[in-house]
Amino acid sequence: MGKLRDAIVNLDTDGVQKACKEAVDASIPAYKAVTDGMAKGMRIVGQKYENKEYFLPELIMARETMREGMKVLEPYLKAGDIKTAGMVVIGTVKGDLHDIGKNVVISLLNAAGFDVIDLGVDVPSKDFVKAVENKKSDIVGMSALLSVTMVEMENVIKALREANLRDKVKIIVGGAPVTQEYAEMIGADAAARDALEGVNICKSWVKK
């Protein structure tokens, strides 16, 4: 498991694939390779980011490294093998194409054990609603960097209400112009000033 953990921490895509194949050949259950190997590596990456030892490029690379490992292990995983912290649907709202902050949040959520559905950028409210319906998510995250696109966050919440889904999820919003006051005004549960705060809020919700 140490090889898997270290491959993630060292951002070694070739190494993680090799270590995953070795784990499979050694009859180590795939879920253990994920939870006891790669997931521990991602937690270390998250700690390094929090301590300012790693930055955005390392976060993104760590996520890609884990994806490469999962490609090897996925055929051997059984449904329900891995217990996750929760399911998060996240996207940048309609009219906004910025995704750097969103991608940092996703990497940190992955490191914290969450399953994340990334809807991408310029996401209309109907796509958020569809994802919540289909994925049975626990949390919806919305990002906006432009003040003119912030209004779309309220539109998403209205659409979730109309679909009778609002009470089934927690909603967190973030981005440079977004404040806690605005979150309260539009009916969101929380606003995050940065990625770390956002992930900590999500973690606090699933612990309850």
- Per residue of the chain (208 residues), give pLDDT as tens: 899 999 999 999 999 999 999 999 999 998 889 888 998 898 898 889 889 999 888 988 998 898 899 889 888 877 567 778 899 999 999 999 988 888 889 888 887 889 999 999 999 999 999 999 998 899 999 999 999 999 999 999 999 999 999 999 999 999 989 999 999 999 999 999 888 899 999 999 998 6
Cα–Cα distance for residue pair 170/86, rounded to 1 Å: 11
Q: What is the model's pLDDT at position 106?
A: 87
Q: Are residues 60 and 125 in the same domain?
A: no
Q: What is the model's pLDDT at position 194?
A: 86
Q: What is the model's pLDDT at position 50?
A: 81
Q: Are residues 172 and 91 in the same domain?
A: yes
Residues of the domain holding 55:
2-76
Structural domains of the chain, count: 2
Q: What is the model's pLDDT at position 77?
A: 78
Cα–Cα distance for residue pair 178/68, rounded to 1 Å: 34
Within-domain flag for 82: no
Q: Are residues 126 and 189 in the same domain?
A: yes
Q: Are residues 199 and 143 in the same domain?
A: yes
Q: What is the model's pLDDT at position 99?
A: 87
Taking CA atoms, 165 is separated from 135, 136, 162, 170, in Å, by: 12, 10, 8, 10
Beta bridge pairs of residue 141: 90, 172
Within-domain flag for 101: yes
Within-domain flag for 123: yes
Q: Are residues 112 and 65 in the same domain?
A: no
DSSP the chain: -HHHHHHHHTT-HHHHHHHHHHHHHTT--HHHIIIIIIHHHHHHHHHHHHTTSS-HHHHHHHHHHHHHHHHHHGGGPPTTSS--S-EEEEEEBTT----HHHHHHHHHHHHTT-EEEE--SSB-HHHHHHHHHHHT-SEEEEE-SSGGGTHHHHHHHHHHHHTT-GGGSEEEEESTT--HHHHHHHT-SEEESSHHHHHHHHHHHHH-
Q: What is the model's pLDDT at position 49?
A: 86
Q: Are residues 47 and 112 in the same domain?
A: no
